[in-house]
Amino acid sequence: METHVMDLGSSGVPDLSLWALFIRADLIVKMVIILLAAASFWSWAIIFDKMIRLRRLNALSDQFEESFWSGGSLDELFDRIGNRPVDPMASVFVAAMREWRRAAQRGLVRDSGKLSVPQRIDRVMQIALGRELDQLERRVGFLASTGSVAPFIGLFGTVWGIMNSFHAIGISKNTSLAVVAPGIAEALFATALGLIAAIPAVIAYNKISSDIDRYYKRLEAFAGEFGAILSRQIEERG
């Protein structure tokens, strides 16, 4: 365990800048600081990525729904989208239409063995929904982990800094600011970094999870409506 003596400026005031605190910290505290800073940086990268992506997906879904409910032919819409759906709602639509066309071409509109065509269409839409939800939720769990773990990592740095302070006091038998301040400052710095990493991660996790859940319910509602449309067409052909 390293001991530290606080560097004093020309005015005799201890240097408490963030960089000075990091430079004076021992290896363990430096590792804690670097880990928390990296976790905070990655959390913000995830936050911005998910927020921008969800906003874009909602806008694309608005455009798709406008085309879908415009009264045009579903076959023409499917041909136009083809194999390049640009948003999850279009992906659900393409999966259902592909299954519908496959069943119609094989003359299995009314019955297809163990599963009826509507059931098969519903199945492929649920698979598509699950795939898109998995994409949306990817890396979001890191925010929850950061929010849960970062304060404890910061607390570990706090305990280690205080241990350094007591160790320095025991060696020098001096309780002056120059002896005590380095470890205490490191401890508070680690605590602050833990909170800085955790608080935004928890808030963002709750917000993004809520937005993803709302968007997923929108996709489910569309899948249900589209499934009903295809079921009516099957009845008309039956």
Parse the chain into domains and list their residue ranges: 18-237
**CA distance linking residue 211 with residue 218, whole number of Å:** 11
- Please state the rounded mean pLDDT for residues 37-65: 95
The string over 116-140, giving b where at least 16 C-beta atoms fall within 10 Å of a residue's C-beta and e elsewhere, is bbbebbbebbeebbeebbeebeeeb
- pLDDT, tens digit, for every residue of 191-234? 889 999 999 999 999 999 999 999 999 999 999 999 898 888 77
Contact 72, 59 (CB under 8 A): no
Q: pTM of the full predicted structure?
A: 0.80
* Helix runs in 106-139, H state only: 117-137
- pLDDT, tens digit, for every residue of 78-90? 888 877 888 899 9
Mean pLDDT (the chain, rounded): 83
pLDDT score, position 127: 93
- pLDDT, tens digit, for every residue of 113-135? 566 778 888 999 999 999 999 99
